[in-house]
């Protein structure tokens, strides 16, 4: 029997979907599923939901729920992480403080000032999880879904011996969206995708072996409903010639083109981002609504009809390839750049094709990104490297410098204004960042 541990199992939608997918593989039909969360109430909902899946599928799997991380990890063959370090009471400052300075962030969970401070709060917990894995299940495959993906994976991969990679559904999700736009069955689509998390690009995208980019461009240019579905990403595609993986709401933050003036936010980031309106206040209000009715929502999700069909998330297929029946599986994962993308920083975290097998996780060499993409992605990757160094050494100066060169921040603020903003963010996060003894 295999054991799969879910750390942060109170993220019920993720837990439900990943457990459902896992149990579709015969190798895991009798596995032990260990659910761990620090919130006993959420943990109870998660266990109830998983019990319902097991009953509906007639599986022989066993489920254990615990608030003890060591109990969940002991003897695990696979680990999934979906934690959030800090509730709305702290991460709202990631958005509200930059907004006071004129840096209007939409989501803020990946990079830039908001993503960096989320990373600083989260990385100590993730490294503690890695130390527990090293001690209690050293051979386990560790799959991370917690953001900010690139910085967390970079830190864990350099500071631990755990075999860890990070997963994001945007690669396969965007590939399916593009197929829909051109009327192609997804099973006839192939692609090669690389870059960094949330800023990876389809270097080729083919339908039955033929370049499908001309069809995508025609759809974006000639059909207003398609252009308006993803305004930011479609503008990037029309001007940069390659399609980026993550949504318009996210990508509007990662460059200097769309959020530096209110008129640009109105034009590009309000009506076609999927996060209407495209401003920080909406994200905060959305989170407040979720928090105020989380029990109601969890009951809805727990008691909703159970569809036992496997979804599109990578995790279950990776586990099946590595610790299941050994069927090879290629996916896009987050790994350190040692000879994978030629024109991105050595050792930074990149998102590239990875082959999962009984040998483990084997990243695949991509080569060089097109020059115009490399300029954009290098900036983000180097800022992330500075932030990781600052987090691991407790050096606030490196954090300041990482934010200095963030494209959106530097498009809006002077260096002195950035310094003042970063000081305010450190002050708001003081209780969460004991590794920084001083920050002025």
| Residues recognised as catalytic | 169
Residue 256 to residues 111, 374, 391, 409, 413: CA-CA distances in angstroms? 13, 15, 25, 8, 12
81 with 143: CB under 8 angstroms? yes
Q: Is 295 exposed, middle or buried (0-12, 13-18, 19+ CB in 10 A)?
A: exposed
Q: Are 128 and 160 in contact (CB under 8 A)?
A: no
Per-residue DSSP letter, 306: P
**How many residues make up the chain in this entry?**
440
Spatial separation of the C-alpha atoms in residues 14 and 23, rounded to whole Å: 14
User: How many CB atoms within 10 Å of residue 264?
Assistant: 15
CA distances from 104 to 6, 112, 194, 249, 269 (A): 34, 11, 28, 12, 11
Instruction: Give, in degrees to the nearest 5, the angle at Cα 428 between 427 and 432.
Output: 95
Run of H or E including 192: strand 189-196
What residues pair up with 183 in beta bridges, in sequence order?
A: none
Here the tokens at position 53 are 């899946």
Radius of gyration of the chain (CA): 21
Q: Count CB neighbours of 422 within 10 A.
A: 26
| C-beta atoms surrounding 116 within 10 Å | 27
Within 10 angstroms of residue 54's Cβ, the number of other Cβ atoms is 19
- What gap in Å lies between CA 212 and CA 132, rounded to an integer? 46
* Helices of type H across 106-261: 112-136, 149-159, 170-182, 213-222, 224-229, 231-240, 248-251
d(CA 8, CA 35): 8
The closest alpha carbon to 79, from 30, 139, 155, belongs to 139
């Amino acid at each position: 029997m295999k054991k799969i541990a879910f750390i942060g199992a109170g993220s019920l939608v993720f837990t439900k979907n990943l457990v459902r997918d896992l149990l579709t593989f015969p190798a895991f039909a009798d596995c032990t599923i260990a659910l761990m969360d620090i919130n006993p109430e959420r943990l109870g909902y998660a266990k109830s939901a998983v019990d319902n899946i097991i009953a509906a599928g007639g599986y022989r799997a066993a489920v254990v729920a615990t608030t003890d991380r060591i109990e969940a990890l002991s003897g695990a063959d696979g680990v999934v992480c979906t934690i959030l370090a800090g509730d709305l009471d702290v991460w709202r400052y990631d958005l509200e403080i930059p907004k006071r300075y004129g840096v209007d962030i939409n989501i803020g969970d990946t990079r830039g000032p908001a993503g960096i401070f989320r990373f600083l709060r989260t990385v100590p917990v993730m490294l503690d999880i890695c130390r527990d894995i090293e001690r209690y299940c050293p051979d386990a495959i560790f799959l991370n879904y917690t953001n900010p993906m690139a910085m967390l994976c970079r830190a864990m991969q350099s500071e631990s011996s755990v075999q860890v990679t990070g997963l994001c559904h945007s690669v396969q999700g965007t590939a399916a969206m593009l197929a829909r736009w051109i009327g192609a069955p997804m099973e006839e689509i192939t692609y090669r995708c690389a870059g960094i998390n949330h800023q990876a690009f389809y270097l080729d995208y083919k339908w039955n072996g033929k370049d499908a980019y001309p069809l995508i461009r025609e759809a974006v240019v000639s059909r207003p409903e398609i252009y308006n579905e993803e305004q930011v990403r479609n503008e990037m595609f029309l001007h940069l010639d390659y399609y980026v993986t993550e949504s318009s709401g996210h990508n509007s933050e990662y460059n200097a083109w769309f959020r530096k003036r209110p008129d640009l936010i109105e034009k590009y980031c309000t009506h076609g981002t999927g996060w209407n309106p495209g401003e920080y206040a909406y994200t905060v209000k959305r989170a407040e609504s979720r928090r105020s009715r989380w029990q109601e929502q969890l009951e809805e999700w727990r008691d909703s009809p159970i569809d036992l069909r496997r979804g599109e998330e990578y995790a279950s297929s990776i586990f099946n390839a590595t610790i299941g029946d050994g069927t090879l599986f290629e996916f896009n994962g987050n790994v350190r750049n040692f000879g994978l993308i030629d024109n991105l920083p050595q050792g930074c975290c990149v998102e590239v094709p990875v082959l999962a097998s009984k040998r483990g996780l084997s990243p695949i060499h991509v080569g060089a990104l097109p020059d115009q993409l490399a300029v954009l992605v290098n900036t983000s990757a180097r800022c992330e490297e500075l932030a990781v160094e600052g987090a691991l050494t407790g050096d606030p100066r490196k954090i300041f410098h990482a934010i200095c060169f963030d494209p959106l921040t530097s498009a809006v603020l002077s260096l002195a204004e950035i310094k003042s903003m970063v000081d305010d963010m450190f002050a708001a996060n003081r209780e969460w960042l004991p590794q920084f003894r001083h920050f002025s």
